[in-house]
Amino acid sequence: MKVVICGAGQVGSAIAAYLSEEGNNVSLIDQDPALIAEVNENLDVTGIVGHASNPDVLKQAGTADAEMLIAATYADEVNMVACQVAHSLFKVPMKIARVRDHSYLNPHWAALYSRDHMPIDVVISPELEVAKSIANRIRVPGAFNIIPMADGMVQMLSVICKPNCPLVNTPLKHLTSLFPDLTLEIVAIVRGHERIIPTQEDELVTGDEVYFVTSTEHLSRAMSAFGYDDQQTRRVLIVGAGKIGTRLAQDIFGTMKDISVRMIEADIVKARQASEALTGVTVVHGDGLNKEILEEVSVGTTEAVIAVMNHDESNILVSMLAKQHGCERAITLINNHSFTPLVTSLGVDAVVNPRAITVSTILQHVRRGRIKAAHSLRDGFAEILEMEALDTSAIVNTPLKEIKKPPNMIIGLIVRGEKIVTPKPNTVIKPDDRVIILAAHDQVKKVEQMFSVRPEYF
Protein backbone atom coordinates (compact mmCIF):
# COMPACT_ATOMS: atom_id res chain seq x y z
CA MET A 1 0.00 0.00 0.00
CA LYS A 2 1.23 3.48 -0.87
CA VAL A 3 0.73 5.93 2.03
CA VAL A 4 1.63 9.62 2.28
CA ILE A 5 2.03 11.00 5.81
CA CYS A 6 2.09 14.75 6.45
CA GLY A 7 3.99 15.71 9.59
CA ALA A 8 7.12 13.99 10.94
CA GLY A 9 6.41 14.67 14.60
CA GLN A 10 5.90 11.93 17.19
CA VAL A 11 2.60 10.73 15.73
CA GLY A 12 3.57 10.92 12.06
CA SER A 13 6.94 9.24 12.52
CA ALA A 14 5.41 6.48 14.70
CA ILE A 15 2.78 5.70 12.06
CA ALA A 16 5.47 5.77 9.37
CA ALA A 17 7.54 3.27 11.35
CA TYR A 18 4.56 0.92 11.72
CA LEU A 19 3.62 0.99 8.07
CA SER A 20 7.14 0.81 6.65
CA GLU A 21 8.00 -2.19 8.83
CA GLU A 22 5.05 -4.00 7.25
CA GLY A 23 6.43 -3.42 3.75
CA ASN A 24 4.22 -0.50 2.77
CA ASN A 25 5.52 2.26 0.51
CA VAL A 26 5.57 5.31 2.79
CA SER A 27 6.42 8.96 2.06
CA LEU A 28 6.76 11.40 4.96
CA ILE A 29 6.54 15.18 4.49
CA ASP A 30 7.69 17.85 6.95
CA GLN A 31 9.04 21.40 6.76
CA ASP A 32 11.80 20.66 9.30
CA PRO A 33 14.95 19.39 7.51
CA ALA A 34 16.30 17.97 10.78
CA LEU A 35 13.22 15.78 11.30
CA ILE A 36 13.33 14.54 7.72
CA ALA A 37 17.06 13.80 8.00
CA GLU A 38 16.36 11.73 11.12
CA VAL A 39 13.52 9.90 9.38
CA ASN A 40 15.64 9.11 6.32
CA GLU A 41 18.39 7.77 8.55
CA ASN A 42 16.25 5.60 10.84
CA LEU A 43 13.22 4.50 8.79
CA ASP A 44 12.70 2.79 5.45
CA VAL A 45 10.58 5.67 4.12
CA THR A 46 10.96 8.50 1.64
CA GLY A 47 11.39 11.72 3.59
CA ILE A 48 10.57 14.97 1.81
CA VAL A 49 11.19 18.51 3.06
CA GLY A 50 8.31 20.82 2.18
CA HIS A 51 4.91 22.22 3.06
CA ALA A 52 2.46 19.39 3.52
CA SER A 53 -0.47 21.00 1.67
CA ASN A 54 1.58 22.22 -1.31
CA PRO A 55 0.44 20.40 -4.48
CA ASP A 56 3.98 20.20 -5.87
CA VAL A 57 5.28 18.69 -2.64
CA LEU A 58 2.40 16.20 -2.49
CA LYS A 59 3.08 15.23 -6.10
CA GLN A 60 6.77 14.70 -5.29
CA ALA A 61 5.70 12.42 -2.42
CA GLY A 62 3.80 10.21 -4.85
CA THR A 63 0.31 11.22 -3.75
CA ALA A 64 -1.05 10.51 -7.25
CA ASP A 65 -0.49 6.80 -6.60
CA ALA A 66 -1.38 6.80 -2.89
CA GLU A 67 -4.21 4.77 -1.40
CA MET A 68 -4.16 6.81 1.81
CA LEU A 69 -3.07 10.20 3.10
CA ILE A 70 -2.61 10.80 6.83
CA ALA A 71 -2.33 14.49 7.76
CA ALA A 72 -0.84 14.83 11.24
CA THR A 73 1.01 18.16 11.23
CA TYR A 74 0.67 20.54 14.17
CA ALA A 75 -1.63 22.86 12.15
CA ASP A 76 -5.27 21.87 11.72
CA GLU A 77 -5.64 24.04 8.66
CA VAL A 78 -2.65 22.46 6.93
CA ASN A 79 -4.06 19.00 7.65
CA MET A 80 -7.46 19.93 6.26
CA VAL A 81 -6.09 21.56 3.11
CA ALA A 82 -3.73 18.64 2.51
CA CYS A 83 -6.74 16.31 2.50
CA GLN A 84 -8.63 18.64 0.16
CA VAL A 85 -5.69 18.78 -2.28
CA ALA A 86 -5.23 15.01 -2.07
CA HIS A 87 -8.88 14.55 -2.99
CA SER A 88 -9.30 17.23 -5.63
CA LEU A 89 -6.01 16.85 -7.49
CA PHE A 90 -4.88 13.30 -6.78
CA LYS A 91 -8.11 11.35 -6.08
CA VAL A 92 -6.71 9.69 -2.95
CA PRO A 93 -9.39 7.24 -1.72
CA MET A 94 -8.76 7.50 2.04
CA LYS A 95 -7.88 10.72 3.87
CA ILE A 96 -7.29 10.99 7.63
CA ALA A 97 -6.75 14.33 9.38
CA ARG A 98 -5.73 15.18 12.92
CA VAL A 99 -7.84 18.16 14.03
CA ARG A 100 -7.45 19.74 17.48
CA ASP A 101 -9.47 22.99 17.49
CA HIS A 102 -12.87 22.28 19.02
CA SER A 103 -14.60 24.70 16.67
CA TYR A 104 -13.81 22.38 13.77
CA LEU A 105 -15.19 19.46 15.78
CA ASN A 106 -18.55 21.02 16.64
CA PRO A 107 -21.25 18.55 15.48
CA HIS A 108 -23.18 21.55 14.16
CA TRP A 109 -20.52 21.89 11.41
CA ALA A 110 -20.26 18.17 10.62
CA ALA A 111 -21.27 18.78 6.99
CA LEU A 112 -17.95 20.58 6.50
CA TYR A 113 -16.25 17.23 5.96
CA SER A 114 -18.65 15.89 3.34
CA ARG A 115 -17.36 15.03 -0.12
CA ASP A 116 -19.05 18.14 -1.50
CA HIS A 117 -17.08 20.44 0.80
CA MET A 118 -13.86 19.32 2.48
CA PRO A 119 -13.70 15.56 1.87
CA ILE A 120 -11.98 14.11 4.93
CA ASP A 121 -12.91 10.48 5.58
CA VAL A 122 -11.73 10.34 9.19
CA VAL A 123 -11.24 13.28 11.57
CA ILE A 124 -9.24 12.46 14.70
CA SER A 125 -9.04 14.72 17.74
CA PRO A 126 -6.25 13.74 20.16
CA GLU A 127 -7.89 15.66 23.01
CA LEU A 128 -11.23 13.90 22.56
CA GLU A 129 -9.57 10.49 22.34
CA VAL A 130 -7.42 11.13 25.43
CA ALA A 131 -10.43 12.37 27.42
CA LYS A 132 -12.37 9.28 26.39
CA SER A 133 -9.49 7.04 27.44
CA ILE A 134 -9.24 8.69 30.87
CA ALA A 135 -13.01 8.48 31.36
CA ASN A 136 -12.83 4.73 30.71
CA ARG A 137 -10.20 4.37 33.43
CA ILE A 138 -12.41 6.24 35.89
CA ARG A 139 -15.28 3.86 35.18
CA VAL A 140 -13.08 0.90 36.15
CA PRO A 141 -11.05 1.74 39.28
CA GLY A 142 -7.69 -0.03 39.23
CA ALA A 143 -7.41 -0.29 35.45
CA PHE A 144 -4.10 1.03 34.11
CA ASN A 145 -5.62 0.96 30.62
CA ILE A 146 -8.97 -0.14 29.21
CA ILE A 147 -10.20 -0.53 25.62
CA PRO A 148 -13.76 -1.63 24.77
CA MET A 149 -14.00 -4.08 21.86
CA ALA A 150 -16.63 -6.08 19.95
CA ASP A 151 -19.34 -3.43 20.37
CA GLY A 152 -18.62 -3.26 24.09
CA MET A 153 -19.09 -6.98 24.74
CA VAL A 154 -15.36 -7.46 25.45
CA GLN A 155 -12.89 -5.30 27.36
CA MET A 156 -9.12 -5.26 27.01
CA LEU A 157 -7.51 -4.04 30.22
CA SER A 158 -4.12 -3.69 31.80
CA VAL A 159 -3.46 -3.71 35.53
CA ILE A 160 -0.38 -3.52 37.74
CA CYS A 161 0.26 -6.63 39.84
CA LYS A 162 0.50 -5.44 43.43
CA PRO A 163 1.85 -7.59 46.29
CA ASN A 164 -1.72 -8.60 47.20
CA CYS A 165 -2.51 -9.87 43.70
CA PRO A 166 -3.86 -13.46 44.09
CA LEU A 167 -2.36 -14.50 40.74
CA VAL A 168 1.29 -13.70 41.52
CA ASN A 169 3.67 -16.68 41.20
CA THR A 170 0.96 -18.86 39.66
CA PRO A 171 1.48 -20.47 36.21
CA LEU A 172 -1.08 -19.10 33.77
CA LYS A 173 -2.22 -22.63 32.91
CA HIS A 174 -3.80 -22.84 36.39
CA LEU A 175 -6.09 -19.83 35.84
CA THR A 176 -8.92 -21.99 34.56
CA SER A 177 -8.90 -24.22 37.63
CA LEU A 178 -8.65 -21.24 39.97
CA PHE A 179 -11.48 -19.35 38.25
CA PRO A 180 -13.47 -21.98 36.31
CA ASP A 181 -16.41 -19.71 35.51
CA LEU A 182 -14.45 -16.56 34.73
CA THR A 183 -14.01 -15.43 31.12
CA LEU A 184 -10.44 -14.08 31.19
CA GLU A 185 -7.35 -14.54 29.05
CA ILE A 186 -3.93 -12.97 29.78
CA VAL A 187 -2.36 -11.89 26.48
CA ALA A 188 0.70 -9.77 27.33
CA ILE A 189 3.00 -8.83 30.20
CA VAL A 190 5.28 -5.80 30.56
CA ARG A 191 8.02 -6.43 33.12
CA GLY A 192 10.33 -3.44 33.38
CA HIS A 193 11.84 -3.04 29.92
CA GLU A 194 10.85 -6.58 28.94
CA ARG A 195 7.78 -7.20 26.75
CA ILE A 196 6.37 -10.72 27.07
CA ILE A 197 3.74 -12.52 25.01
CA PRO A 198 3.19 -15.31 27.54
CA THR A 199 2.91 -19.06 27.33
CA GLN A 200 0.86 -21.18 29.71
CA GLU A 201 4.02 -21.86 31.75
CA ASP A 202 4.71 -18.18 32.49
CA GLU A 203 4.02 -16.71 35.92
CA LEU A 204 3.18 -13.19 37.05
CA VAL A 205 5.40 -11.32 39.49
CA THR A 206 4.78 -8.23 41.59
CA GLY A 207 5.12 -5.07 39.53
CA ASP A 208 4.10 -6.65 36.23
CA GLU A 209 1.78 -4.69 33.97
CA VAL A 210 -0.62 -7.37 32.76
CA TYR A 211 -2.83 -7.09 29.67
CA PHE A 212 -5.90 -9.29 29.58
CA VAL A 213 -9.23 -9.60 27.80
CA THR A 214 -12.50 -10.38 29.52
CA SER A 215 -16.20 -10.21 28.83
CA THR A 216 -17.84 -7.00 30.00
CA GLU A 217 -20.20 -9.12 32.06
CA HIS A 218 -17.25 -10.51 34.04
CA LEU A 219 -15.32 -7.24 34.29
CA SER A 220 -15.81 -6.75 38.02
CA ARG A 221 -14.86 -10.35 38.82
CA ALA A 222 -11.81 -10.12 36.57
CA MET A 223 -10.56 -7.04 38.42
CA SER A 224 -11.14 -8.84 41.73
CA ALA A 225 -9.04 -11.75 40.48
CA PHE A 226 -6.10 -9.31 40.29
CA GLY A 227 -6.83 -7.93 43.76
CA TYR A 228 -8.75 -4.82 42.70
CA ASP A 229 -11.98 -4.47 44.66
CA ASP A 230 -11.96 -0.69 44.60
CA GLN A 231 -15.15 1.19 45.34
CA GLN A 232 -16.78 3.11 42.51
CA THR A 233 -15.35 6.61 42.03
CA ARG A 234 -17.57 9.37 43.46
CA ARG A 235 -15.24 12.39 43.67
CA VAL A 236 -12.80 13.44 40.94
CA LEU A 237 -10.20 16.22 40.91
CA ILE A 238 -8.84 17.38 37.54
CA VAL A 239 -5.63 19.44 37.60
CA GLY A 240 -5.35 21.42 34.38
CA ALA A 241 -8.14 23.20 32.48
CA GLY A 242 -6.71 22.88 28.99
CA LYS A 243 -8.49 21.15 26.11
CA ILE A 244 -8.10 17.68 27.60
CA GLY A 245 -9.10 18.69 31.13
CA THR A 246 -12.13 20.66 29.95
CA ARG A 247 -13.33 17.90 27.65
CA LEU A 248 -12.82 15.29 30.37
CA ALA A 249 -14.85 17.33 32.85
CA GLN A 250 -17.65 17.62 30.28
CA ASP A 251 -17.58 13.86 29.65
CA ILE A 252 -17.64 12.96 33.34
CA PHE A 253 -20.32 15.46 34.28
CA GLY A 254 -22.43 14.58 31.25
CA THR A 255 -22.28 10.77 31.41
CA MET A 256 -21.48 9.90 35.05
CA LYS A 257 -24.17 11.69 37.00
CA ASP A 258 -23.12 10.26 40.37
CA ILE A 259 -19.59 11.72 40.21
CA SER A 260 -18.75 15.20 41.47
CA VAL A 261 -15.95 17.04 39.66
CA ARG A 262 -13.55 19.71 40.88
CA MET A 263 -10.82 21.37 38.85
CA ILE A 264 -7.64 23.33 39.58
CA GLU A 265 -6.11 25.70 37.02
CA ALA A 266 -3.13 28.02 37.57
CA ASP A 267 -3.89 30.32 34.63
CA ILE A 268 -6.61 32.83 35.61
CA VAL A 269 -7.92 33.19 32.04
CA LYS A 270 -8.25 29.44 31.56
CA ALA A 271 -9.81 29.09 34.99
CA ARG A 272 -12.48 31.68 34.16
CA GLN A 273 -13.16 30.09 30.77
CA ALA A 274 -13.52 26.66 32.34
CA SER A 275 -15.79 28.01 35.08
CA GLU A 276 -18.07 29.57 32.47
CA ALA A 277 -18.09 26.53 30.21
CA LEU A 278 -18.46 23.81 32.84
CA THR A 279 -21.79 24.12 34.57
CA GLY A 280 -21.83 22.04 37.74
CA VAL A 281 -18.03 21.77 37.98
CA THR A 282 -16.19 23.64 40.74
CA VAL A 283 -13.14 25.40 39.28
CA VAL A 284 -10.45 26.68 41.65
CA HIS A 285 -7.79 29.14 40.50
CA GLY A 286 -4.44 28.09 41.91
CA ASP A 287 -1.34 25.95 41.63
CA GLY A 288 -1.97 22.21 41.84
CA LEU A 289 1.44 21.84 43.51
CA ASN A 290 0.37 24.14 46.35
CA LYS A 291 -0.48 22.27 49.56
CA GLU A 292 -3.11 24.80 50.63
CA ILE A 293 -4.89 24.60 47.27
CA LEU A 294 -4.97 20.81 47.43
CA GLU A 295 -6.41 20.96 50.94
CA GLU A 296 -8.98 23.52 49.78
CA VAL A 297 -10.37 21.06 47.23
CA SER A 298 -10.29 18.20 49.79
CA VAL A 299 -7.81 16.07 47.85
CA GLY A 300 -7.57 13.65 50.80
CA THR A 301 -11.18 12.54 50.36
CA THR A 302 -10.98 12.37 46.56
CA GLU A 303 -11.05 8.94 44.95
CA ALA A 304 -9.25 10.02 41.76
CA VAL A 305 -6.96 12.91 40.84
CA ILE A 306 -6.23 13.39 37.15
CA ALA A 307 -3.21 15.49 36.22
CA VAL A 308 -3.50 16.81 32.66
CA MET A 309 -1.27 19.88 32.59
CA ASN A 310 1.16 20.66 29.77
CA HIS A 311 4.29 19.50 31.61
CA ASP A 312 5.01 15.85 32.42
CA GLU A 313 7.05 16.71 35.49
CA SER A 314 4.25 18.83 36.98
CA ASN A 315 1.73 16.07 36.33
CA ILE A 316 3.95 13.52 38.06
CA LEU A 317 4.54 15.77 41.09
CA VAL A 318 0.84 16.61 41.46
CA SER A 319 -0.02 12.91 41.35
CA MET A 320 2.56 12.08 44.02
CA LEU A 321 1.38 14.93 46.26
CA ALA A 322 -2.24 13.86 45.89
CA LYS A 323 -1.37 10.30 46.89
CA GLN A 324 0.57 11.57 49.91
CA HIS A 325 -2.50 13.53 50.98
CA GLY A 326 -4.62 10.38 50.90
CA CYS A 327 -6.11 10.38 47.41
CA GLU A 328 -6.92 6.81 46.37
CA ARG A 329 -5.96 6.92 42.68
CA ALA A 330 -3.74 9.10 40.52
CA ILE A 331 -4.06 9.18 36.72
CA THR A 332 -1.24 11.06 35.01
CA LEU A 333 -0.85 12.47 31.51
CA ILE A 334 2.68 11.85 30.21
CA ASN A 335 3.97 12.70 26.74
CA ASN A 336 7.46 11.26 27.26
CA HIS A 337 6.88 7.49 27.24
CA SER A 338 10.30 6.87 28.84
CA PHE A 339 8.84 8.25 32.08
CA THR A 340 6.24 5.49 32.32
CA PRO A 341 8.31 2.84 34.18
CA LEU A 342 9.52 5.51 36.63
CA VAL A 343 6.02 6.80 37.28
CA THR A 344 4.51 3.41 38.02
CA SER A 345 7.32 2.69 40.49
CA LEU A 346 6.39 5.91 42.30
CA GLY A 347 2.85 4.73 42.95
CA VAL A 348 0.96 6.44 40.12
CA ASP A 349 -1.98 4.20 39.29
CA ALA A 350 -2.47 4.90 35.58
CA VAL A 351 -0.54 6.69 32.82
CA VAL A 352 -2.10 8.25 29.74
CA ASN A 353 0.10 8.89 26.70
CA PRO A 354 -1.54 11.14 24.06
CA ARG A 355 0.84 10.05 21.31
CA ALA A 356 0.17 6.36 21.89
CA ILE A 357 -3.60 6.94 21.95
CA THR A 358 -3.52 9.01 18.74
CA VAL A 359 -1.35 6.46 16.95
CA SER A 360 -3.65 3.64 18.05
CA THR A 361 -6.71 5.58 16.86
CA ILE A 362 -5.18 6.23 13.44
CA LEU A 363 -4.08 2.60 13.21
CA GLN A 364 -7.70 1.45 13.55
CA HIS A 365 -8.49 3.21 10.28
CA VAL A 366 -5.32 2.09 8.53
CA ARG A 367 -6.05 -1.60 9.12
CA ARG A 368 -8.33 -3.05 6.48
CA GLY A 369 -9.83 -6.34 5.34
CA ARG A 370 -11.22 -8.46 8.16
CA ILE A 371 -9.63 -6.34 10.89
CA LYS A 372 -12.51 -4.57 12.58
CA ALA A 373 -10.40 -2.86 15.24
CA ALA A 374 -6.70 -2.53 16.03
CA HIS A 375 -5.02 -1.05 19.09
CA SER A 376 -1.30 -0.59 19.59
CA LEU A 377 0.09 -1.60 22.98
CA ARG A 378 3.01 0.02 24.80
CA ASP A 379 5.12 1.63 22.08
CA GLY A 380 3.98 -0.82 19.45
CA PHE A 381 5.47 -4.10 20.68
CA ALA A 382 2.13 -5.78 19.93
CA GLU A 383 -1.39 -5.08 18.72
CA ILE A 384 -4.73 -6.21 20.04
CA LEU A 385 -6.95 -6.99 17.04
CA GLU A 386 -10.61 -7.70 16.51
CA MET A 387 -10.86 -9.98 13.47
CA GLU A 388 -13.93 -11.17 11.58
CA ALA A 389 -13.85 -14.77 10.33
CA LEU A 390 -15.20 -15.57 6.85
CA ASP A 391 -16.43 -18.93 5.65
CA THR A 392 -13.41 -18.94 3.30
CA SER A 393 -10.86 -17.97 5.97
CA ALA A 394 -8.03 -20.43 6.59
CA ILE A 395 -8.68 -20.42 10.33
CA VAL A 396 -12.36 -21.53 10.35
CA ASN A 397 -13.81 -25.03 10.86
CA THR A 398 -10.54 -26.42 12.22
CA PRO A 399 -9.73 -27.10 15.90
CA LEU A 400 -7.32 -24.47 17.21
CA LYS A 401 -4.79 -27.14 18.19
CA GLU A 402 -4.45 -28.12 14.51
CA ILE A 403 -3.95 -24.57 13.20
CA LYS A 404 -0.42 -23.45 12.47
CA LYS A 405 -0.38 -20.06 14.14
CA PRO A 406 2.33 -17.42 13.74
CA PRO A 407 4.72 -17.08 16.68
CA ASN A 408 3.90 -14.46 19.29
CA MET A 409 0.17 -14.63 18.67
CA ILE A 410 -2.52 -15.39 21.25
CA ILE A 411 -6.21 -15.92 20.63
CA GLY A 412 -7.93 -14.16 23.52
CA LEU A 413 -11.70 -14.49 23.23
CA ILE A 414 -14.21 -15.39 20.52
CA VAL A 415 -17.47 -13.46 20.15
CA ARG A 416 -20.19 -15.60 18.56
CA GLY A 417 -23.39 -13.61 18.27
CA GLU A 418 -24.30 -12.72 21.85
CA LYS A 419 -22.04 -15.41 23.31
CA ILE A 420 -18.44 -15.11 24.52
CA VAL A 421 -16.31 -18.23 23.95
CA THR A 422 -13.05 -18.86 25.78
CA PRO A 423 -10.71 -20.63 23.32
CA LYS A 424 -9.60 -24.18 24.14
CA PRO A 425 -7.46 -26.58 22.07
CA ASN A 426 -10.57 -28.18 20.58
CA THR A 427 -12.42 -24.91 19.97
CA VAL A 428 -13.43 -24.33 16.34
CA ILE A 429 -13.76 -20.80 14.95
CA LYS A 430 -16.92 -20.47 12.86
CA PRO A 431 -17.83 -18.07 10.04
CA ASP A 432 -18.90 -14.62 11.28
CA ASP A 433 -17.11 -15.08 14.61
CA ARG A 434 -15.27 -12.04 15.89
CA VAL A 435 -11.95 -13.11 17.32
CA ILE A 436 -9.89 -11.02 19.76
CA ILE A 437 -6.20 -11.62 19.08
CA LEU A 438 -2.95 -10.27 20.42
CA ALA A 439 -0.07 -10.42 17.96
CA ALA A 440 3.46 -9.06 17.85
CA HIS A 441 3.60 -6.13 15.48
CA ASP A 442 5.63 -8.05 12.89
CA GLN A 443 3.06 -10.86 12.81
CA VAL A 444 -0.04 -8.76 12.06
CA LYS A 445 0.15 -9.35 8.29
CA LYS A 446 0.24 -13.13 8.84
CA VAL A 447 -2.74 -12.92 11.15
CA GLU A 448 -4.63 -10.94 8.55
CA GLN A 449 -3.86 -13.60 5.94
CA MET A 450 -5.28 -16.30 8.19
CA PHE A 451 -8.61 -14.52 8.21
CA SER A 452 -8.80 -13.34 4.62
CA VAL A 453 -7.24 -15.95 2.34
CA ARG A 454 -8.85 -19.14 1.12
CA PRO A 455 -7.14 -22.31 2.39
CA GLU A 456 -6.11 -23.39 -1.10
CA TYR A 457 -4.06 -20.19 -1.48
CA PHE A 458 -2.00 -20.89 1.64
- The mean per-residue pLDDT over the stretch 203-217 comes to 94
Structural contact between residues 186 and 172, judged by C-beta atoms closer than 8 angstroms:
yes
For the domain covering 2-124, report its CATH number: 3.40.50.720
pLDDT digits (tens, 9 = 90+) for 378-414: 767 888 999 999 888 888 999 999 988 888 999 999 9
pTM, full prediction: 0.83
Q: What percent of the chain has pLDDT over 70?
A: 97
pLDDT above 70 for 458: no
Q: Which range has highest mean pLDDT (103-112, 324-333, 366-375)?
A: 324-333
Q: Can you give the residue ranges of every domain in the chain?
A: 2-124, 235-356
pLDDT at 342: 77
Structural contact between residues 382 and 408, judged by C-beta atoms closer than 8 angstroms:
yes
Greater confidence (375 vs 421) lies with 421
Confidence of residue 453 (pLDDT cuts 50, 70, 90): low
Asked whether the domain spanning 235-356 has the same topology as the one spanning 2-124, the reply is: yes
Confidence of residue 34 (pLDDT cuts 50, 70, 90): very high
pLDDT at 193: 83
Greater confidence (333 vs 338) lies with 333
pLDDT above 50 for 456: no
pLDDT above 70 for 360: yes
Q: At what angle do helices 33-42 and 10-21 cross, to 10 degrees?
A: 20
pLDDT digits (tens, 9 = 90+) for 424-446: 999 999 999 999 999 998 888 88
For the domain covering 235-356, report its CATH number: 3.40.50.720
Query: Whole-angstrom Cα distance, residue 225 to residue 422?
Result: 17
- The mean per-residue pLDDT over the stretch 90-104 comes to 92
Greater confidence (257 vs 88) lies with 88
pLDDT above 80 for 340: no
pLDDT digits (tens, 9 = 90+) for 151-184: 999 999 999 998 889 999 989 989 888 888 899 9
Write down the mean pLDDT value for the chain.
Answer: 90
